[in-house]
């Protein structure tokens, strides 16, 4: 189990697929790390959005900076730890 501290956010990145016509082609795992820019918030550190009202919460779909953060393994899951500043938008 991972517990983020300070102004950080734990994200489960969405899987990336490329679509050619009506055929979906799986993307190489290395490419996926660089193309993924959306995911789901799993956890928010206690120092996130300091001085502001937190505008993202656990369970929200968010858009984040493409090359931000650090990938970590948690069991079979590959998760992303980002600075709260790298979360740039929420998606409805």
Share of residues in the chain with pLDDT > 90 (%): 46
Span 57-65, mean pLDDT?
93
Q: What is the pLDDT of residue 53?
A: 80
- 71 or 55, which is more confident: 71
Q: What is the pLDDT of residue 46?
A: 87
Measuring CA to CA, which residue among 69, 10, 83, 79 is closest to residue 41?
A: 10
| For residue 90, pLDDT beyond 70 | yes
Summary mean pLDDT of the chain: 83
Alpha helices (runs of H) in the chain, residue ranges in sequence order: 29-35
28-59 pLDDT per residue, tens: 665 656 555 899 999 999 888 887 888 889 99
């Amino acid at each position: 189990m991972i517990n983020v501290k300070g102004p950080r956010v734990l994200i489960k990145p969405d899987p990336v697929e490329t679509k050619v016509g009506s055929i979906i082609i799986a993307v190489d795992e290395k490419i996926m790390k660089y193309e993924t820019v959306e995911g789901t918030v799993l956890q928010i550190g206690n120092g996130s959005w300091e001085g502001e009202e937190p505008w993202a919460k656990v369970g929200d779909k968010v858009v984040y900076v493409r090359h931000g953060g650090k990938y970590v393994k948690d069991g079979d899951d590959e998760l992303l730890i980002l600075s709260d500043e790298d979360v740039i938008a929420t998606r409805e």
